[in-house]
Chains A and B, each alone.
Chain A
Amino acid sequence: MTKTMNFFDDLEKYSSNVAIITEGSKQISYKDLLETADIFGKQIKKRCLVFMVCENSFESVAGYIGFLRAGAVLALIQDTTDNTLLANLIEVYKPEYIYLSAEKSEMQINCTIVYSFGNYTLLKTDHNTDYTLHKDLALLLSTSGSTGSPKFVRQSYKNNNSNAEAIAQYLGITSTDRPISTMPMSYTFMLSIINSHLLKGASIILTDATLMEKRFWEIMKDNNATTFGGVPYIFEMLKKLRFEQMNLPSLKYITQAGGKLSKELTAEFNDICAQKGIKFYVMYGQTEATARMSYLPWEYACKKLGSMGIAIPGGQFWLEDENGNVIGDRDTMGELIYKGDNVTLGYAESYLNLSKGDENKGILHTGDLAKRDAEGFYYITGRKKRFLKMFGKRVNLNEIEELIRTAGYDCVCTGTDDNLIIYITEPDDKDRIVSYIAKRTGINRAGFSFVHIDKIPRNDSGKVRYSALN
């Protein structure tokens, strides 16, 4: 067997292309990106774990590429992660290095400064626990960055390469593409956009500005962005900003993932995009599958409204019933199962798990319920697991309940995407609970609502009867 080349090891071939366009519209070539990246890489003496607190900036992407090229394993952390939660993650994973921006450096960690670049600093921690990193392990990505859970997804080099290749293939990405960032780089959706475009020698426009800021639209227009990706909430914002009236001639296609977009909004954007000559791709994925599992070819956007499409190149879907039998009939609901090279190795909950190899063997039980039509297109119909997407972030309801209970309040959580309902027995403390949970998770308080109940419904064994809440 020949060793597969990692896309980040082979970027020299694009030397003269522009790799990164910064907020100040500064263009950085692949040559300059790699030079900077490899300076970081040289600071790392051996294969070890590096914690990287991500921003959408040149420094951040250069660190990402540099550490990967140096053979380090990278844990990507969202920059809005609460300092207490970050300190806990560091304790649990004992990284040898931490790469973070000046804004986070007020954290009290026992470290020495190894190298500084721009507003970023590479710190060496005093952890000297010797632990094994599995040879296939490339990245650790958070399953729900917001609650600070130490549960990470273990991604291999093969996962990262194969998913970038597949995405670049079905979207037809070329070196002339210019995606603009709309989400934090630590989100797998955004990371997949970065990876698949670097793979093709394209230019990535990086900004931390949101769609609600004038700066975002200026950067987009000044640099002729050709594409962006959005979670459902981004489409709510585009609607509010009356996207249909915007004049963005450079825009070629838009992708949607990170939760199911309502049928109404999908139809609306199908129409708007068709009028404007923009291709609109509805897609589906999970961090457990690196990022992407399906896409709806844009030609089918109207005909297959509400569908998440078909498997990406190299991937395969099927449905299973409760007993694990494959469902052959069309329009019959079952759990969506995916098979492909992008199915990640498994989870980690501490540094002790980083020596583990592939536990999934290429097969992922998505936890999503779906059905398939006669032509092989899939439709998500529900969810087996107790989690919600909150403005693009995955939130585990059990973890939210646990956080609130830790603060001393009994509660039960349910809800729908972007609307998490907290059932409480003490209505007077509503405001304190929402302030606490918004601070800990970084999710805007507008996403939480409360229902007062006299008693948490439980069965004889003490388990919460969620069905009794509705």
Chain B
Amino acid sequence: MKNKQKYDLAFINSFSIDENKLGDNLEYNTIQEWDSVGHMGLIAELEEIFDIMMEMDDIIDFSSYKKGFELIAKYGVEF
């Protein structure tokens, strides 16, 4: 599986949303599933899928689907 697919899957699994919801418009708190509880689940899912451990600054900076790519990329994940 490509990293982009893995990344998408983390969102789909954590929020139980359709693939067509993924995109630049998907931001923290714009859907009910992505609240602080959902955020914890998403981060855990991403850390597991990519086998990384995220820093606090990156966890709280992860404010959108779009922003997430560059943050995950910091851990050596190539998209």
A236, B32: Cβ atoms closer than 8 Å: no
Q: How far is the CA of A211 from the CA of B59 in the complex (A)?
A: 10
| Number of residues from B at the complex interface, CB < 8 A | 20
Residue of B nearest to A444 (CB): B37
Within 8 A of A (CB), among B21-60: 28, 32-33, 35-41, 43, 56-57, 59-60
B36, A237: Cβ atoms closer than 8 Å: yes
Cβ 8 A contact of A446, one of B28, B38, B60, B63: B38
Q: Does B8 touch A at the CB level, under 8 Å?
A: no
Interface centre among A212, A236, A431, A439 (most CB of B within 10 A): A212
Instruction: Say whether chain B's binding surface is mostly helix, strand, loop, or mixed.
Output: helix
B56, A212: Cβ atoms closer than 8 Å: no
Residues of B within 8 A of A214 (CB): 57, 60-61, 63
A83 nearest CB across to chain B (Å): 14
Residues of A within 8 A of B14 (CB): 446
Q: Does B20 touch A at the CB level, under 8 Å?
A: no
A129 nearest CB across to chain B (Å): 35
Q: Does B16 touch A at the CB level, under 8 Å?
A: yes
B44 nearest CB across to chain A (Å): 8
Instruction: Say whether chain A's binding surface is mostly helix, strand, loop, or mixed.
Output: helix
Q: Does A213 touch B at the CB level, under 8 Å?
A: yes
Within 8 A of B (CB), among A423-437: 431, 434-435
Residue of A nearest to B56 (CB): A241
Q: Does A470 touch B at the CB level, under 8 Å?
A: no
Assuming A445-B16, A446-B41, is B36 touching A210 (CB within 8 A)? yes
A445, B33: Cβ atoms closer than 8 Å: yes
Q: How far is the CA of A212 from the CA of B35 in the complex (A)?
A: 9
A246, B56: Cβ atoms closer than 8 Å: yes
A444, B33: Cβ atoms closer than 8 Å: yes
Q: How far is the CA of A391 from the CA of B14 in the complex (A)?
A: 17
Residues of A within 8 A of B35 (CB): 210, 444
Q: How far is the CA of A439 from the CA of B33 in the complex (A)?
A: 9
B57 nearest CB across to chain A (Å): 8
Cβ 8 A contact of A233, one of B37, B59, B63: B37
Q: Does A447 touch B at the CB level, under 8 Å?
A: yes
Residue of A nearest to B28 (CB): A213
A212, B60: Cβ atoms closer than 8 Å: yes
Residues of A within 8 A of B32 (CB): 438-439, 442, 444
Residue of A nearest to B37 (CB): A444
Cβ 8 A contact of A242, one of B16, B36, B39, B56: B56
Q: Does A240 touch B at the CB level, under 8 Å?
A: yes
Q: Does A8 touch B at the CB level, under 8 Å?
A: no
Residues of B within 8 A of A444 (CB): 32-33, 35, 37-38, 41
A240, B43: Cβ atoms closer than 8 Å: yes
Cβ 8 A contact of A211, one of B28, B36, B38: B36
A359 nearest CB across to chain B (Å): 36
Q: How far is the CA of A358 from the CA of B11 in the complex (A)?
A: 50
Q: How far is the CA of A216 from the CA of B33 in the complex (A)?
A: 20
Within 8 A of B (CB), among A216-264: 216-217, 233, 236-237, 240-242, 245-246
Q: How far is the CA of A78 from the CA of B60 in the complex (A)?
A: 25
Residues of A within 8 A of B60 (CB): 211-214, 216-217, 241
Residues of A within 8 A of B28 (CB): 212-213
Residues of B within 8 A of A246 (CB): 56
Residues of A within 8 A of B38 (CB): 444-446
Q: How far is the CA of A241 from the CA of B58 in the complex (A)?
A: 10
B76 nearest CB across to chain A (Å): 20
A410 nearest CB across to chain B (Å): 23
A212, B39: Cβ atoms closer than 8 Å: yes
Q: How far is the CA of A71 from the CA of B50 in the complex (A)?
A: 58
Residues of A within 8 A of B40 (CB): 212, 236-237, 240, 446
Residues of A within 8 A of B57 (CB): 214
| 21 A–B contacts from the bound complex (CB under 8 Å) | A210-B36, A212-B36, A212-B40, A213-B28, A213-B60, A214-B57, A214-B60, A214-B63, A216-B60, A236-B40, A237-B36, A240-B40, A240-B43, A246-B56, A391-B37, A438-B32, A439-B32, A444-B35, A445-B16, A446-B38, A446-B40
Give the top 4 A-B pairs by smallest Cβ distance, nearest first: A444-B37, A210-B36, A212-B39, A212-B36
B: which residues have CB within 8 A of A?
Answer: 14-16, 28, 32-33, 35-41, 43, 56-57, 59-61, 63
A: which residues have CB within 8 A of B?
Answer: 210-214, 216-217, 233, 236-237, 240-242, 245-246, 391, 431, 434-435, 438-439, 442, 444-447
